[in-house]
Structure 1
Amino acid sequence: SGDSISDAELAAREATVGPDDLCDMLFTSGTTGYPKGVMYGHQQCLRAIDAWATRVGIREHDRILVIPPLFHVFGYRAGAMVALMRGAVFLPHLTYDAGEILKRVAEEKISVIPGPPAIFQGMLQHPGLAKFDTSSLRLAVTGSTTIPPILVHRMRTELGIAGVVTGYGLTECGGYGTMCLATDPDEVIANTAGKAAPGVEVRIMADDGHFLPDGKPGEVVIRGYIVMKGYFNDPEATARTIDPEGWLHTGDIGCFDTDGNLRIEGRLKDMYITGGFNCYPAEIERILSQHPAIGIVAVIGVPDERLGEVGKAYVVLRPGTSATEKDIIDWSRANMANYKCPRSVEVRSSLPTSPQGKVVKDLLEATLTKCA
């Protein structure tokens, strides 16, 4: 029916849309609470996507395989929208299956895959990986949750992806915040989420509202054009999340290194205290991911009569490897401080994930409660 609309009428309709008008509304994942509608404006949406595409290096004619659903920022903005803005080829994939993804990469010469770490972990875990040609892959853009350094190394060496970039963001700031460059040193890409996007401020804030110096962990706060217009029909939640100075409180713990790169330690709600020591699951997961038999790992705090809380690790092993609970705990004691070591390990064939590819730790905790 578009042919029935004249050019003049189309121009008149376009003229009614302003840069600050509502462009879209994506919902938060709900992994840390009830999903909320995040309102985003036209100008901030397009400006954020353009800045992101420039930093990570999306090119005209890239073939982008988009696995995350289109209700998620990785699928919608880093997939469909960036393809339109850069003249790339948008190839959506309905449901995640590691074997099918590897097959499409080989047959359709995919050059870019954006998505959370679970996508690449699954590809690396596939027993038939060596049979697929992944040489067309030049760029992987990941983030959305903690990235184990060993995963970046394996993506380069086993999948053959020369450009691996990691970043940090959340739905409330359009999915963006900080990002590495493909030209950054491996240790920066593996261990940090890079620097703030142009025109964006990212700081580390203490509980009392003061900013912390480099190297000191605290809550990550973000200010600038990428911060949402607010939560749909929820002014109270908006006021709790964006303070009077315009800082978006992310609920994530992080710190900056001396070069200004952000390092994410985990979520405030995930932290647990063992014998008076603060334990950040993301840090412990990064260390455990270096174990030669561990493919995927999630750590949560569980009650303990003596220490208050201790860590429990849920592990998916790499294909063709084996490790017992004792093996992993003994390795932990040799490779991290004693208070960080998980006191129990459960080996599983898979872990529960959200449609966006994040491990849903609430489901792990619910299983634990049910068993208790």
Structure 2
Amino acid sequence: MSGEFDTVDHLLAAAAAQQGERDAYVGPDDRMSFAEWHLRSDLVAEELRRRGVGRGDVVALVMPNSCDFAVVFAAIAKLGAVTTALNTRLGPQEMEAIAQTCLPRLVVRDGTLATPPLPGEPRSLLRSELAGIYARVAVDPPRGQCNPADPVVIMWTSGTTGNPKGPYLDHRNLKAVSDAAGPMSTPGDRRLVPTPFPHAGYMARLWDQIHHLTTVIIGVMPWSVDSMLRQIVEERVTVIGAVPTQWEKLVQFPGIDELDLGSVRVGLSATAPARPELVERVKEVLGCPLVVRYAMTESPSIAGTRPEDPPEVQFRTVGRPQVGMEVSVLADEGEVGMVRIRGACVMRGYWNDPARTAKAFDSEGWLLTGDLGYLDADGNLVLTGRSSDMYIRGGYNVYPAEVESLLVTHPKVANVSIVAAPAPTIGEIGVAFVVPVPGETVTLDELREFVRRNLADYKAPDVLHVIQELPTNAMHKINRSALRELAKASVTTETAPASAAGVGR
């Protein structure tokens, strides 16, 4: 799109003027053009202003993925106010903790959802009222009420219950995320979003979508592989971003080879490297590369692989720093250390939490990610795990991600996750939860031998649980907390290292 812009309101106005007829959103039940998005958000912004929302105020969204969600999000930004979207699957304790941190002036909610009320009873705008607002005569738009340094969105760290952290981004951050998009965004893309909108995968890409005039295909919720494939075919999707568990289920879907999926030009695997068989299978089925992106709520763009990278880079690393970003490892060259990042995509801080904001950054302005890894000879970042996931077995540090990335190359292993469990004498042991390749039988002895041939012997798992599917959370990420509880319950004080306890459970 032509022109230079520094705030979301001016950017959306230009998109509506230049390509207003183009689809901005296509959902299971409705669709909306860029012109409609712009007009509706003007009308909703005026209604929000009448209800007391102004620059710097927080507005909470408790709504499902929809065109209405996008309208309200843009309307809030036009006022210079701040959006915080709450996943509709959150419980009362989680919603209360978030609301007490961000203190929303108003909540926009879907009255048909069985979601708990927010504490303090902030005023509400019901989704059912939006249709009437859209039908009003156009008003003078609320322009000029925001500047590039104004916060736009607060997101919440996943897995938080009673002590949430809310990274927030301003207009400059959102523009930087778009600048860093690389091959994931080209003009006129049709991008399928199969995850909840409150996630950074949608919220942080508002600028990117408008700038590239991208049509967002709203994924059917709750997610299923058959509905995802149907939307890819019917809506001629060009870009798909999904987590590894979603990709695994997609390529294993019966009859997928018979579908016309030729519209897809690139796929993205978020949160973790993709196993080699998955990279190859995606290319075979979709005819497109699968790239890996490393990001976090505190920085929606950090590093990534490129479509032209060889498979071993895709499944072993998370690539090189993206445009505007720096990556550093606090260790000697080639050694494992804390990953830190710096750049235009990094959050401005945690909302209403100066103490934790100060703790997150070092004296040089680097954000400490909590991830462990190292940079290889080509500058690719190799993640070995979270500092909180590392365990100490007999005095030796073990990084589960390093062992997992090896085990998924075993011909009998479809997926694996390793967590620690307490053990007598040696402190902690590794418990492997393995999903075998259909028709295969996996034993602890053969997995331990496989690890010993490639890594130090103390890194081999001590206990094996064979399961049909790894548990996942609302974002379809592996639920390591649930696995830790299972491991702790199954490993008793009598369990010795290298035990076959749990095999077949």
Q: Normalising to structure 1: TM-score of the pair?
A: 0.87
Q: 2:213 aligns with which of 70, 87, 90?
A: 87
Correspondence 1:291 to 2:419: no
Query: Shift of residue 254 of structure 1?
Result: 1.2
Stretch deviating more after TM superposition (122-131 or 300-309): 122-131
Q: Quick check: 1:258 aligned with 2:377?
A: yes
1:188 to 283, 300, 313: 313
Q: Any residues of structure 2 matched to 1:92-131 within 5 Å, and which?
A: 92-93=218-219, 94-131=221-258
Gapped runs of 5+ residues in structure 2? Answer: 1-39, 44-135, 493-505
* Paired residue type of 2:410: H
**Equivalent residue for 2:176?**
47
CA distance in 2, matches of 1:32, 1:126: 34
Q: Show the counterpart of 1:20.
A: 149
Structure with greater contact order relative to length (CA < 8 Å, sep ≥ 6): 1
Shift of 1:335: 4.6
One of 400, 406, 410 as aligned partner of 1:281: 400
Instruction: Tell me the amino acid that sits aligned with residue 216 of structure 1.
Output: E
**Which sits farther off after the overlay, 324-333 or 181-190?**
324-333
Which residue identity lines up with residue 245 of structure 2 in the other structure?
A
Kept after mapping to 2: 8 A contact 1:288/1:297: yes
Identify the residue that residue 190 of structure 2 maps to in structure 1: 63
Do residues 219 (structure 1) and 348 (structure 2) align? no
For 1:31 and 1:129, the matched residues in 2 are separated by 37
- Deviation string for 1:106-155 (max 9, x for gaps)? 34332211122121012134344444443332211122234434432332
Q: CA deviation at 1:303?
A: 1.9
Deviations 1:307-365 (A, max 9, x none): 32221111122334443444444444445432111111111122221222211111111
Contact 1:56 1:141 in 2 (8 A): no
Of residues 353, 360, 365, the one that matches 1:241 is 360
Contact 1:38 1:230 in 2 (8 A): yes
Of 317-326 and 268-277, deviating more is 317-326
Residue 330 to residue 215, structure 1, CA distance change in 2 (3 Å): closer
Partner deviation per Cα, 1:152-203 (whole Å, 9 max, x = no partner) = 233223x334222112111111x11112221233332232222212222211
What's 1:209 paired with? none
Equivalent pair of 1:272/1:301 in contact (CA under 8 Å): yes
C-alpha separation in 1, matches of 2:380 and 2:389: 22
CA distance in 2, matches of 1:266, 1:15: 45
State how far apart, in whole Å, the 2-side matches of 1:367 and 1:74 are: 30
- CA RMSD of the aligned region, Å? 2.4
The more displaced of 261-270 and 362-371 is 362-371
- Residue 476 of structure 2 corresponds to 357
Structure 1's unaligned 5+ residue stretches are 206-211
Name the larger-Rg structure: 2
Counterpart position of 1:312: 431
Residue identity opposite 1:172 in structure 2: E
User: Residue type of the partner of 2:327?
Assistant: V
Identity of aligned residues (%): 33
- 1:23 alignment partner, SS class: strand
Q: Secondary structure at the match of 1:286?
A: helix
- What SS does the aligned partner of 1:35 have? coil
Q: Distance in 1 between matches of 2:283 and 2:472?
A: 24
Give how far 1:31 is off. 6.3
> What CA distance in whole angstroms lies between the structure 2 residues aligned with 1:214 and 1:188?
19
Deviation at 1:261, TM superposition (A): 1.6
Residues 266, 290 of structure 2: 8 Å contact kept? yes
Letter in 1 for 2:249: G
TM-score under structure 2 length normalisation: 0.65
Equivalent residues of 1:294, 1:316 under 8 A apart: yes
Partner Cα distance (2:161, 2:463) in 1: 24
Contact 1:329 1:345 in 2 (8 A): no
Residue 271 of structure 1 deviates from its aligned partner by: 0.5
User: Is 1:201 aligned to residue 326 of structure 2?
Assistant: yes
Distance 1:275 1:202 in 2: 32
The Cα of 1:5 is off from its aligned counterpart by 5.2
Distance in 2 (alpha carbons) for counterparts of 1:276 and 1:150: 34
Match of 1:166 in 2: 292
* Whole-angstrom CA distance in 1 between matches of 2:450 and 2:456: 11
